[in-house]
Amino acid sequence: MSRTVIHGGLVVTASDEIHADVLIEGGRIAALAAHGTDAATSWSADRRIDATGMYVLPGGVDAHTHMEMPFGGTYAADTFETGTRAAAWGGTTTIVDFAIQTMGRSLREGLDTWHAKADGRCAVDYGFHMILSDVNESSLKEMDRLVAEGVTSFKLFMAYPGVFYSDDGRILRAMQRASGNGGLVMMHAENGIAIDVLVEQALAEGRTDPRYHGDVRKVALEAEATHRAVQLARVAGAPLYVVHVSADEAVDEIAAARHKGLPVFGETCPQYLFLSTDNLAEPGFEGAKYVCSTPLRPREHQEVLWRGLRNNELQVVSTDHCPFCFSGQKEMGRGDFSKIPNGMPGVEHRMDLLHQAVVDGHLSRRRWVEIACASPARMFGLYPKKGTIAPGADADVVIYDPGAEQTISAETHHMAVDYSAYEGRRVTGQVRTVLSRGVPVIEDRAYVGHAGHGTYLPRGTCQYL
C-alpha cells in the first residue's frame, strides 16, 4: 500500500489548527502526529511532501455546480472533465452537481443522463442532487429509491415558471415525502410568478439592459419566497436548505427560522460576497457576465452575508458554478436581458476568495474550512469521508500557500469560459498541491491528474448543522 507523509505544515480543519504531520495510506488519512515527534519521524513513506510554511487543508467540497447544464437553448460551457479539473486547480476535490428531471419523465432517466455525462470524465470525486421539475405520484415514489441509493437531496424551484417551477402544493408534497424518507429539500427561493410580470413590464418599457435583471428580481421577492419555503417546510416537518441566498432580508428569514429551532439552512456564493449590482451596471453589455439568479445585490447586502456566515445563520458557501461564454452565449440576451443565460463561472476560485476573506478579517481560518469543506460535507451526507483531515477520512488534501499572491484572470484560469467575473482581482493565497484519495491531482502548480480518476459518491442523509 502506498504511503505518503505530508510534513511541516499547519493542519487546519473546522475544529483545530495544529502543526502536525499527516500519514496517508491506501488513499486514506492513516494518522496525524505532532511535527518533530518520534511518532512522526518514524513513519516510512514512498512519498514525502514538504508543507513547511503551508496550510494543510481538507479538500474543498463544492455542493452546488452545474456542469454542461442546459439553459435557454444552450449548455453551460464546462463539461464534467474541464469543470472538475478547474475545481482541482482551486483546491476543490468534491463537487455535488445537479441531475435534472425533464418534465414528464422519470427521475431515473434524468439521473442516468447525468451519470452518462460524468462517468469516466471527472478529475475529482462527485455526487448528484436531483432537480425535481415534475412533482407527481410517481416522482414522489422515486424520491424514496433515490435517497436509499445515495441521491439524498432534491432541488425545487419557486422561480422559472414553465421550466423548473413548482407551485406551493407540489413543494409541500415533496417536502412531506422528504420528511418521511430522510431527503433534504433544497430551494431556489424567488417568487418567479411575480418576477415574470416585472420582466414583461420592464421589456415593454424598453428597459432591456443586463442591469434590469437585478432590478426586477426584487429583494422582497427573494425574502417572501424564503419565508414561504420555511413555512411550508415547517408544516411538512422537513428540513430545508435554501440555495444561493443573496439578499439581506432573506438572511433574516433564515435567521428567524433557526431562532425558532427549525432545521433551516442557508447557502451563499462568492459572487454575492464579492460582487454587486455595480457589476451588473457595467457599461456596454459587460453586465451580462454577472447575470445569475438570485441576482447580485447592492453592496450593502455583503456585510449581512458575512455576518450570517460568522453567526451560522448561513452554513455553506458553494459556487453555483454555471458558466456561459460571453461570446455567443451571454450575447444571446443583447437587447433582452431575460434571454441572457443565467449563471457565472466560479468553481476554481471559491477557496481562494474565501481565504481572502480570512485575510480581510471577515472569517477565521477554521470557519473558512468549515463553510467550504466540513459543513457542505455534513449537510450532504459525505462527512467524515470528505471535509476533514482525520484518521479514516479520504486523503483529499490541499497544500495551500497562504502568502502567495495571484491575480485572477481568464488568461490563466482553467475553466472553459472566455471571461472571469473577478478579472484583475489580486488575492493572497494559492493552492500548491492537491491530493484526491492520496493521488496527486495538482503537484507544485502543475496538473498531474486525469479524467476518470474521480469516482461517483453515493451519499448518506443530511447531518443537521
By CB under 5 A, which span of 128-136, 294-302, 314-322, 457-465 interacts with Zn ion?
A: 314-322
| Nearer to Zn ion (CB atom), residue 292 or residue 377 | 292
When asked if residue 401 is in the footprint of Zn ion (CB under 5 A), the reply is no
By CB under 5 A, which span of 2-10, 39-47, 282-290, 320-328 interacts with Zn ion?
A: 320-328
257-291 burial, b if ≥16 CB within 10 A, otherwise e? bbeeebbbbbbbbbbbbbbbbebbbeeebebbbbb
Output the smallest distance, CB 425 to Zn ion, in A. Answer: 23
Output the smallest distance, CB 154 to Zn ion, in A. Answer: 13
Q: What is the length of the chain?
A: 465
Distance CA 229, CA 234 (A): 8
Sign of the torsion formed by the C-alpha atoms of 22, 25, 29 and 30 = negative
What is the DSSP-derived secondary structure letter of residue 442? E
Total residues in contact with Zn ion, by rule CB under 5 A: 1
CA-nearest of 124, 129, 8, 127 to 59 is 124
The residue nearest Zn ion at its CB is 320
Output the smallest distance, CB 69 to Zn ion, in A. Answer: 8
End-to-end CA distance of the chain: 36
By CB under 5 A, which span of 25-33, 319-327, 411-419, 444-452 interacts with Zn ion?
A: 319-327
Residue 302 · residue 273 · CB < 8 Å: yes
Output the smallest distance, CB 294 to Zn ion, in A. Answer: 10
By CB under 5 A, which span of 247-255, 313-321, 377-385, 429-437 interacts with Zn ion?
A: 313-321
| Nearer to Zn ion (CB atom), residue 243 or residue 390 | 243
Output the smallest distance, CB 448 to Zn ion, in A. Answer: 30
| Nearer to Zn ion (CB atom), residue 294 or residue 338 | 294
Output the smallest distance, CB 251 to Zn ion, in A. Answer: 18
Output the smallest distance, CB 293 to Zn ion, in A. Answer: 8
When asked if residue 134 is in the footprint of Zn ion (CB under 5 A), the reply is no
Residue 336 · residue 203 · CB < 8 Å: yes
Distance CA 424, CA 334 (A): 25
- CA neighbours within 13 Å on the CB side: how many for 218? 14
| Nearer to Zn ion (CB atom), residue 187 or residue 427 | 187
By CB under 5 A, which span of 128-136, 273-281, 315-323, 416-424 interacts with Zn ion?
A: 315-323
What is the DSSP-derived secondary structure letter of residue 388? S
Q: Which residues contact 169 (CB under 8 A, 6 or more apart)?
A: none
Distance CA 431, CA 457 (A): 24
Output the smallest distance, CB 66 to Zn ion, in A. Answer: 6
Helix H or strand E encompassing 240: strand 240-242
| Nearer to Zn ion (CB atom), residue 224 or residue 320 | 320
Residue 184 · residue 262 · CB < 8 Å: no
| Nearer to Zn ion (CB atom), residue 320 or residue 348 | 320
Helix H or strand E encompassing 138: helix 137-149
Q: Specify the residue for cell string 466540513.
A: 374
Q: Which of 134, 142, 320, 401 binds Zn ion (CB under 5 A)?
A: 320
Output the smallest distance, CB 92 to Zn ion, in A. Answer: 16
Distance CA 210, CA 151 (A): 36
User: Please, what is the Cα angle at 82 between 77 and 88, to 5 degrees?
Assistant: 130
Strand segments, DSSP code E, in 288-362 are: 316-317
Output the smallest distance, CB 321 to Zn ion, in A. Answer: 8
How large is the greatest C-alpha to C-alpha distance in the chain, in angstroms? 75
By CB under 5 A, which span of 246-254, 312-320, 373-381, 382-390 interacts with Zn ion?
A: 312-320
Tell me which residues touch Zn ion (CB under 5 A).
320
